[in-house]
Amino acid sequence: MTVITHVTIEPGKEAAWDAAFRERVEVVRKQPGWVAVQLCVSAQAANKRTVIGTWETRAAWEAWHTTDVFKRTRSEMEGVQIAERETWWHEVALETHR
């Protein structure tokens, strides 16, 4: 399963959001069911982020949301967001890499 989340950050607060996200990524590597993550910065707006996460199951992703580090970093990240985040789920039909 791939989950795509779009976030808009208060201008000037991008570094704080990014730091919390990087902390989250260091911990998620050990989370059962986690596969991969990409953090994309919009080429049109420096305060917009797209997170593309891949999980074995949606249940594994939901379990991650109950961890202390996720809850703490979510609080930090939401504190500098200026719009409601959008989350879209997709079943992975094909994945390929070099």
Q: Residue holding tokens 């390929």?
A: 96
Task: Give the pLDDT confidence of 47-85 residue by residue, as tens digits.
Answer: 999 999 999 999 999 999 999 999 999 889 989 999 888
Q: What pLDDT score was predicted for residue 84?
A: 86
Instruction: Kindly list the domain boundaries of the chain, sorted by start residue.
Output: 2-90
Task: Give the pLDDT confidence of 12-33 residue by residue, as tens digits.
Answer: 999 999 999 999 999 999 999 9
Would you tell me how many other CB atoms lie within 10 Å of the CB of residue 67? Answer: 14
Identify which of 9, 69, 63 has the alpha carbon closest to the alpha carbon of residue 39.
9
CA 70 to chain centre: 10
Q: Which residues make Cβ contacts (< 8 Å) with residue 93, sequence separation at least 6?
A: none
Q: What does CATH list as the number for 2-90?
A: 3.30.70.100
Residue 95 clears pLDDT 90, i.e. is over it = no
Amino acid at 34: W
Is the model more confident about 94 or about 48? 48
